[in-house]
Amino acid sequence: MANKASVPKGTRDFKPDELVKRRFIFSNIESVYRKFGFVEIETPSMENIETLTGKYGDEGDKLLFRILNSGDYLAKADKDALQANDSQKLSASIAEKGLRYDLTVPFARFVVQHRNEIQFPFKRYQLQAVWRADRPQKGRYREFYQCDADIIGSKSLLNEAELVQIIDEVFKRLNIRVEIRLNNRKILQGLAEIIKEEDKFMAITIAIDKLDKIGIEKVREELSSSGLKTEAIDKIHEVLSFEGSLIEKISFMKNLFNESEIGMEGLAEMQKLYEYLSEFKLLNEIHFDLTLARGLNYYTGTIIEVVAKDVSMGSICGGGRYDDLTSIFGLNDVSGVGISFGADRIYDVMQELDVFGEIPQQDTKLLIINFGEEDEKYALKALSKLRANNIASEIYPDTAKIKKQMNYTNARGIPFVIMAGESERIDQKYTLKNMESGEQQLLSLEEIINLFK
């Protein structure tokens, strides 16, 4: 029986019309990265499983795709785990490799492994697939692409400012209006400090992160059930409800935060970033969002998140500063900052906004109609010359009815055909037909080449 032709849940084929649009996104991101001096690396699709586990929280560990060991893997399997029917425990002994879950952890591993072969500050970009065994839904796939840029080995906030510039330029090129949200983990820590609830930092952050979705009253309830006193909740409420520009917010908070060293540090960083972004004329694009808390796992300073203004899709780009990422692999005191564009969601946003415009599926400018053996030689002569002049062109490979060949040309979106039958051959000319207008011209090969060159 024939196998069913289907792909695994959450994965996709990309047909030519889809792929040219994806390439359009990738190439815009890549060319902006390169313009800002980033260089490209690639890491393997699979990593040793210890490189991945424990880096993304318990939830992340569950979402890792693990690769079954080759050969007689049961010979080395953990017998106790087998006995106990413990799938999770057994995995460690029968699946020693896993698929990349993001590009950040493999990059940290790369930096440590190749520390003597690269120049710091190291500015790298990387556009590769990642895999997560997540439940597929709108905007969420099991195989998807991340497009990351990181600067590692520099603490300057100029790096953050350049990343915001990159975000701005990429989305302007892609015709997506976005809001770039900024925050700083140190400010969140400062907030916990000034209400004397440092040890409830996580609970506070998780609660205020929900402000957009559940509103201030529910946030207050959640803070209260975490054990915060009314006075502390009022203070948070006051901070969250302050309206004003980025710089107004900063000066308002400086008054509140003067007892928190870390909080003041976060505010100073935000102010410095503000100055750079003012220099780069980007103040209208950004928004200081105190509720922003993404990626608390490893971010230690600036936090960045980007959402589309005209489509509801969640975050389409995000990032931040991490002071300690490479220490997992034994290299301490190397600060880094990076961003990641989610190409698949950006694709979905652009589809929804209908901003791709016309991107041709192929380069082919001309298709030569195949009139059969007799005329083929004459047609092939033209084909060789066209290609020698770097004009993308094709011949219909079979002798089929003209109508079929014309339909094929139309369906492929090829703009011109060349017809070369007996009469053309005798004249040493070719008939060029514009598929859109229907207009035909009898031309020499040189004339055709000059038209398309």
Rounded to a whole number of angstroms, the minimum distance from the CB of residue 384 to a copy of itself is 6
Contact 350/176 with Cβ under 8 angstroms?
yes
Distance CA 339, CA 302 (A): 11
Rounded to a whole number of angstroms, the minimum distance from the CB of residue 41 to a copy of itself is 6
Backbone angles phi, psi at 417, to 5 degrees: -120, 155
CA dihedral (250, 251, 253, 257) positive or negative: positive
Number of other CB atoms surrounding residue 339 within 10 Å: 23
Q: Which is nearer to a copy of itself, 315 or 327 (CB)?
A: 327
At residue 6, the 3 state secondary structure works out as coil
Rounded to a whole number of angstroms, the minimum distance from the CB of residue 422 to a copy of itself is 19
Q: For residue 27, which of 19, 129, 254 has the smallest C-alpha distance?
A: 19
Rounded to a whole number of angstroms, the minimum distance from the CB of residue 393 to a copy of itself is 7
Token couple for 83 = 């006995």
Alpha-carbon distances, residue 88 vs 58, 63, 92, 258, 370 (angstroms):
12, 12, 8, 48, 61
Can the peptide bond before residue 121 be classed as cis, meaning omega within 30 degrees of 0? yes
Q: For residue 368, which of 333, 399, 338, 326 has the smallest C-alpha distance?
A: 399
Distance CA 269, CA 266 (A): 5
Distance CA 65, CA 52 (A): 10
Rounded to 5°, angle at Cα 62 from 60 and 64: 70
Q: How many CA atoms lie within 13 A of 394 on its CB side?
A: 17
Q: Which is nearer to a copy of itself, 397 or 438 (CB)?
A: 397
Rounded to a whole number of angstroms, the minimum distance from the CB of residue 240 to a copy of itself is 33
Q: For residue 206, which of 223, 228, 189 has the smallest C-alpha distance?
A: 223
Rounded to a whole number of angstroms, the minimum distance from the CB of residue 104 to a copy of itself is 14
Q: Which is nearer to a copy of itself, 143 or 198 (CB)?
A: 143
Q: Which is nearer to a copy of itself, 10 or 295 (CB)?
A: 10
Q: Which is nearer to a copy of itself, 42 or 179 (CB)?
A: 42
Rounded to a whole number of angstroms, the minimum distance from the CB of residue 74 to a copy of itself is 4
Rounded to a whole number of angstroms, the minimum distance from the CB of residue 398 to a copy of itself is 5
Q: Which is nearer to a copy of itself, 355 or 392 (CB)?
A: 392
Q: Which is nearer to a copy of itself, 65 or 257 (CB)?
A: 65
Q: Which is nearer to a copy of itself, 9 or 196 (CB)?
A: 9
